[in-house]
Amino acid sequence: MTEWKDRIVVDPEILIGKPIIKGTRISVDLIMDRLADGWTLEDITTAYPRVTRDDVLAAIAFVTEVFREEDYIALRKASA
């Protein structure tokens, strides 16, 4: 498993503190947006040459850990 802590950093001076791929200005949320749009790992690493396969896997691991640590409450939609 990819250790995201070696690849994901937060610096208030870069992208207002969004989590980014270390050594880049590529944010984790940008990577997740591309994946949600159907991009493959190869698509991402081709479009962003400074981002490696392990960086993308680290971004996924980071998001997974954040979600695992948060509590969520399902809300029912109000009846019309």
The string of pLDDT tens digits covering residues 6-53 is 999 999 999 999 999 999 999 999 999 999 999 999 999 999 999 999
CA neighbor of 28 nearest in space, from 11, 69, 73: 11
pLDDT at 2: 57
**Distance between CA 71 and CA 80 in Å, rounded?**
28
**Distance between CA 71 and CA 26 in Å, rounded?**
27
Tally the residues of the chain. Answer: 80
